[in-house]
């Protein structure tokens, strides 16, 4: 396996007396889908927020391509290739689907300070953004204002926008949350095609999706990683069964 | 698509011709007061549109834009007085009565002021931002009120309008046309700005700062640039107002001027390109008409505002678009 894209070392985050992240270590290789599972309140979102820079850790380091990014702000990390899809879609709601993708494209091209380029002068950006929409369920929905989209479409758009930044690493926070059965199936297919191009850290509740997609799985319970390994190893692990999978069966 | 573009261009040309013809029509109708009114509408329109870039596009609800409006006026006034007295400002700056000098000077002064005020105010958000911008404007209000060398509370009389290319700037129609030319140039730049790459980022930050951060945008510096551009635009309007009124006073810096500009934006349509101009026109004309009718005019004006804002949440532009939409 190649050198890790993302490496998390000894990460700790405390909220008062509660240790939300308790000495977490894991890594993620290029082209790998690493799933992070765990019951509600296990600290998955806290961990994601620290990796993307919205929240600062109390201890430990985060390395992207071997570079320590622990002190970087969220925008700096985004520029270095960390793209995020939010659990609850967080988009530009007043503008169209295409505009949302175009913003991601223009930021990647550093076209953010031009104060007098006309829409005609931005045509190349729109064309590139269309390219990211092509082949997705949103291909013919480019002109729709985001506030008119369904939840499932917004989840898809989150992913397209993240891809349009051409990231090194995708942080996907529950991409299946709130999706119908067929929408979930589509999302699984989309994600399996994406692993070629990016490393993916997948936080997900949908066990079918996780077992389908993940190369490796880490199980987070009470802020601590209690197990990690391949899909088969995790399925067989008795501690995981008890702490997490068992609860779901009950 | 081509056809609707052609129609839009036609509408713009007709609109521009109508604006150019205002002094001629006013003369023919024997109402020269219309010319002053039209000039003021253009100027307040520029100020409101500038505020709208910060407020409507950037989501930066500044309650202190009177600061830039008034500063623009004082740049013209103080430079004129220095010129008339044949002295040097701060011991080294010669005065001037040339519009081609006072406008760039206004851009410089209001740009620096907006950078300073913005740099501090933008560290806050929400209601605090509103209050801090208001506080800065009030500080400038009291500063100029106490500045007795330049009129203090009474304000500063500018005996002659700035000169430009040897035009007869005492002629109201000429002054209107000069203002119209500046407003037209302003409008082209402002419209471009709202649709530019930078404008897209600024409006993205209004809609969802968290999303923009996740895409790599540090909000502060973009908002600061937007605030500076907005302040400069308002400053230019203030400089033109001082030229047209041949007077500037601390009143221009007071909080009710900020409120007036804000009302124009809200009335016309927050975050629309032409709305603020429409809002300026309606507010100034209403004030004028109601003032002639009753001294309790602010009460009626308040009711009108209430109806417009409640009935059309997008302001007058929402009504215009509704009519337009029904036709096509």
HEC string for A107-120: HHCCCCCCCCCCCC
Answer yes or no: do B47 and B126 share one domain.
yes
For B40-75, the pLDDT digits (tens) are 999 999 999 999 999 989 989 989 999 999 999 999
Question: Are residues B297 and B287 in contact, defined by beta-carbon separation less than 8 angstroms?
Answer: yes
B95-98 contacts, C-beta under 8 A, 24 or more apart: B97/B160, B97/B162, B97/B163, B98/B162, B98/B163, B98/B164
Answer yes or no: do B17 and B120 share one domain.
no
Q: Chain A residues with CB inside 8 Å of B204's CB?
A: 92, 103
pLDDT of B328 reads 43
Between CA B151 and CA B250 the distance in angstroms is: 9
Domain count of chain B? 2
End-to-end CA distance of chain B: 13
Instruction: Tell me the pLDDT of chain B averaged across its residues.
Output: 87
φ, ψ at A228 (rounded to 5°)? -150, 155
Any domain includes B308: no
CA of A21: how far to CAs of A9, A74, B127, B245, in Å?
12, 19, 34, 65
Any domain includes B100: yes
> Which of B193, B205, B208, B214 is the best mutation test for A, with the most CBs of A within 10 A?
B214
How many beta-carbon pairs below 8 A join chains A and B?
88
pLDDT greater than 90 at residue B166 = no
Contact A84 B214 (CB under 8 A): yes
Between CA B163 and CA B37 the distance in angstroms is: 21
Whether residue A103 lies within 8 A of chain B, CB to CB, comes out as: yes
The gap from C-alpha A85 to its chain's centroid, in whole angstroms, comes to 5
Answer yes or no: do B59 and B12 share one domain.
no
Q: Chain B residues with CB inside 8 Å of A102's CB?
A: 200
Answer yes or no: do B232 and B93 share one domain.
yes
Between CA A46 and CA B4 the distance in angstroms is: 51
Q: Compute the average pLDDT of residues B1-23.
A: 80
Any domain includes B74: yes
Question: Are residues A224 and A23 in contact, defined by beta-carbon separation less than 8 angstroms?
Answer: yes
Answer yes or no: do B195 and B129 share one domain.
yes
For B75-122, the pLDDT digits (tens) are 999 988 888 787 777 877 787 788 898 999 999 999 999 999 999 999
Any domain includes B76: yes
Answer yes or no: do B62 and B157 share one domain.
yes
pLDDT of A178 reads 84
Per DSSP, which regions of A55-190 are E strands?
59-64, 67-68, 82-85, 169-173
Token representation of residue A90: 């967080």
Question: Where a domain ends, among B209, B229, B263?
Answer: B263
pLDDT of B326 reads 57
φ, ψ at A141 (rounded to 5°)? -115, 15
pLDDT of A41 reads 79
Domain residues for the domain of B26 are 1-31
Q: Compute the average pLDDT of residues B113-141.
A: 92
Question: Where a domain ends, among B263, B287, B302?
Answer: B263
- Banded pLDDT at B325 (limits 50, 70, 90): low
Residue in A91, A99, A107 nearest the CB of B208: A91
Between CA B103 and CA B212 the distance in angstroms is: 35
Whether residue A165 lies within 8 A of chain B, CB to CB, comes out as: yes
Contact A91 B211 (CB under 8 A): yes
Contact B189 A95 (CB under 8 A): no
pLDDT of B88 reads 76
Answer yes or no: do B16 and B63 share one domain.
no
DSSP B98: B
3-class state of residue A200 by DSSP: strand
For A182-231, the pLDDT digits (tens) are 888 888 888 888 877 788 999 988 787 888 888 899 888 888 888 888 88
Q: Chain A residues with CB inside 8 Å of B232's CB?
A: none
Answer yes or no: do B40 and B146 share one domain.
yes
Give the distance from residue A235's alpha carbon to the nearest chain B alpha carbon, in angstroms: 34
Give the closest residue to B75 by CA, choosing from B305, B227, B232: B232
C-alpha atoms less than 13 angstroms from C-alpha of B207 in its C-beta half-sphere:
23
Whether residue A112 lies within 8 A of chain B, CB to CB, comes out as: yes
For B231-260, the pLDDT digits (tens) are 999 999 999 999 998 889 898 999 989 999
CB atoms within 10 A of CB A122: 20
Q: What percent of chain B has pLDDT over 90?
A: 48
> Which of B111, B188, B194, B211 is the best mutation test for A, with the most CBs of A within 10 A?
B211
Answer yes or no: do B9 and B103 share one domain.
no
Answer yes or no: do B44 and B9 share one domain.
no
CB atoms within 10 A of CB A239: 11
Whether residue A83 lies within 8 A of chain B, CB to CB, comes out as: yes
Residue in A73, A92, A114 nearest the CB of B198: A114
Between CA A235 and CA B70 the distance in angstroms is: 71
Answer yes or no: do B125 and B168 share one domain.
yes
Contact A78 B216 (CB under 8 A): yes
Residue whose pair of structure tokens reads 């007085």 in the numeric block: B81
Question: Where a domain ends, among B213, B246, B263?
Answer: B263
Pairing of strands A4-15, A33-37: unpaired
Question: Which of the two residues, B151 and B208, has the higher pLDDT score?
Answer: B208
Question: Are residues A221 and A39 in contact, defined by beta-carbon separation less than 8 angstroms?
Answer: yes
Whether residue A115 lies within 8 A of chain B, CB to CB, comes out as: yes
Residue whose pair of structure tokens reads 């929402």 in the numeric block: B318
Question: Are residues A160 and A101 in contact, defined by beta-carbon separation less than 8 angstroms?
Answer: yes
pTM: 0.89
Residue whose pair of structure tokens reads 């031009």 in the numeric block: A114
Whether residue A90 lies within 8 A of chain B, CB to CB, comes out as: yes
Any domain includes B304: no
Any domain includes B282: no
Any domain includes B293: no
Which of A154-168, A224-238, B172-186, B194-208 has the weakest average pLDDT? A224-238
Any domain includes B89: yes
Answer yes or no: do B100 and B232 share one domain.
yes
CB atoms within 10 A of CB A218: 24
pLDDT of B108 reads 95
Calculated CA dihedral for residues B184, B277, A123, A95, nearest 10 degrees: 170
Pairing of strands A33-37, A199-203: parallel
Residue in A94, A122, A165 nearest the CB of B197: A122
Residue segments in chain A with a per-residue pLDDT below the cut of 50: 1, 248-250
């Amino acid at each position: 396996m190649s050198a890790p894209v993302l490496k998390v070392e000894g990460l700790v985050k405390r909220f008062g007396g509660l240790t939300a992240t308790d000495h977490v270590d894991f890594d993620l290789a290029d082209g790998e889908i690493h799933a992070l599972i765990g019951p509600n309140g296990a600290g998955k979102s806290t961990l994601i927020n620290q990796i993307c820079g919205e929240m600062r850790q109390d201890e430990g380091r985060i390395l992207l391509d071997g570079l320590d990014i622990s002190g970087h702000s969220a925008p700096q990390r985004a520029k270095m290739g960390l793209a995020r899809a939010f659990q609850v879609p967080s988009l530009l709601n007043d503008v169209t689907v295409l505009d949302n993708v175009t913003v991601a494209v223009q930021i990647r091209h550093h076209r953010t300070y031009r104060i007098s380029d006309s829409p005609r002068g931005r045509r190349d950006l729109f064309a590139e953004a269309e390219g990211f929409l092509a082949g997705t369920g949103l291909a013919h929905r480019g002109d729709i204002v985001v506030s008119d989209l369904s939840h499932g479409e917004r989840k898809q758009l989150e992913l397209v926008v993240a891809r349009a930044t051409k990231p090194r690493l995708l942080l996907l926070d529950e991409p299946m949350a709130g999706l119908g059965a067929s929408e979930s199936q589509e999302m699984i297919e989309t994600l399996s095609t994406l692993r070629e191009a990016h490393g993916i850290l997948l936080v997900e509740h949908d066990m079918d999706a996780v077992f389908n997609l993940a190369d490796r799985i880490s199980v987070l319970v009470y802020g601590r990683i209690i197990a990690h390994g391949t899909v088969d190893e995790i399925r067989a692990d008795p501690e995981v069964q008890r702490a997490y999978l068992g609860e779901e069966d009950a | 698509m081509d056809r609707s573009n052609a129609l839009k261009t036609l509408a713009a040309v007709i609109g521009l011709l109508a604006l150019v013809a205002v002094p001629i029509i006013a003369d023919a109708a024997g109402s020269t007061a219309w010319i002053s009114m039209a000039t003021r509408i253009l100027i307040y329109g520029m100020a409101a549109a500038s505020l709208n870039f910060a407020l409507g596009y950037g989501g930066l609800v500044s309650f202190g834009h009177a600061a830039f409006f008034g500063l623009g006026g004082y740049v013209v006034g103080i430079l004129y007085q220095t010129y008339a007295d044949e002295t040097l400002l701060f011991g080294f700056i010669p005065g001037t009565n040339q519009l081609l000098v006072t406008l760039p000077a206004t851009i410089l002064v209001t740009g620096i002021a907006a950078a300073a005020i913005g740099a501090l105010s933008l560290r806050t958000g929400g209601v605090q931002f509103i209050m801090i911008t208001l506080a800065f404007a009030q500080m400038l209000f009291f500063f100029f009120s106490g500045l007795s060398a330049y009129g203090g509370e009474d304000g500063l009389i500018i005996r002659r309008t700035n000169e430009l290319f040897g035009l007869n700037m005492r002629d109201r129609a000429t002054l209107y046309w000069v203002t119209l030319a500046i407003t037209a140039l302003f409008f082209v730049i402002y419209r471009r700005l709202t649709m530019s790459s930078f404008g897209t980022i600024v409006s993205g930050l209004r809609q969802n700062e968290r999303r923009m951060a996740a895409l790599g945008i540090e909000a502060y510096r973009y908002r600061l640039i937007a605030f500076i551009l907005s302040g400069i635009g308002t400053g230019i309007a203030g400089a033109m107002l001082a030229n047209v009124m041949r007077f500037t006073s601390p009143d221009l810096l007071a909080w009710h001027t900020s409120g007036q500009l804000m009302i124009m934006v809200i009335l016309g349509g927050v975050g629309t390109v032409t709305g603020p101009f429409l809002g300026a026109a309606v507010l100034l004309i209403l004030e004028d008409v109601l003032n002639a009718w009753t001294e309790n005019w602010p009460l009626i004006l308040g009711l009108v505002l209430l109806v417009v804002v409640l009935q059309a949440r997008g302001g007058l532009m929402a009504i215009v678009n509704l009519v337009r939409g029904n036709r096509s």
